[in-house]
Amino acid sequence: MRMLVNIDVPALEPAIDFYCNALGFRCARIMDGSTAELVGGSSTVYLLLKPKGSAAAEGADARRGYARHWTPVHLDFVVDDVEAAAARAEAAGARRESPCIEWRGSRCITLSDPFGHGFCVIELTQGTYTDD
């Protein structure tokens, strides 16, 4: 099974700039002027142009907002150097939301992108979480 990651954004070009500069993705193509395909990670990321205030789903009362928000699902980006990755993301416009937290062979920093989406950069010393 493959996973595709879709991220709603209020403006396509700034989102492309952020994810390419902050996390090293490359924009492979733009489709219909409203969807950017980003490659360079273990999953393809699609940035979907969705205006602020538009319905989150057909028939839903919820509306899209791009202030910092909470969701039970977020993205973790595995990196070689967590501090360097966080600095790169901050330089591209991310906001750091936590100090570096060490847990089970990992080092993690929580951030949010300029569009309100939370994400983490994680350095795994053994390629995965350890048992101790």
pTM of the model: 0.92
Reading the chain (132 residues) residue by residue, the pLDDT tens digits are 899 999 999 999 999 999 999 999 999 999 999 999 999 999 999 999 999 999 988 988 999 999 999 888 999 999 999 999 999 999 999 999 999 999 999 999 999 999 999 999 999 999 999 997
* pLDDT for the residue numbered 132: 76
* pLDDT for the residue numbered 60: 86
- What domains can be seen in the chain, in order of their start residue? 4-54+65-124 (3.10.180.10)
125: left (phi over 0), alpha (psi -120 to 50) or beta: alpha
* pLDDT for the residue numbered 70: 86
* pLDDT for the residue numbered 45: 97
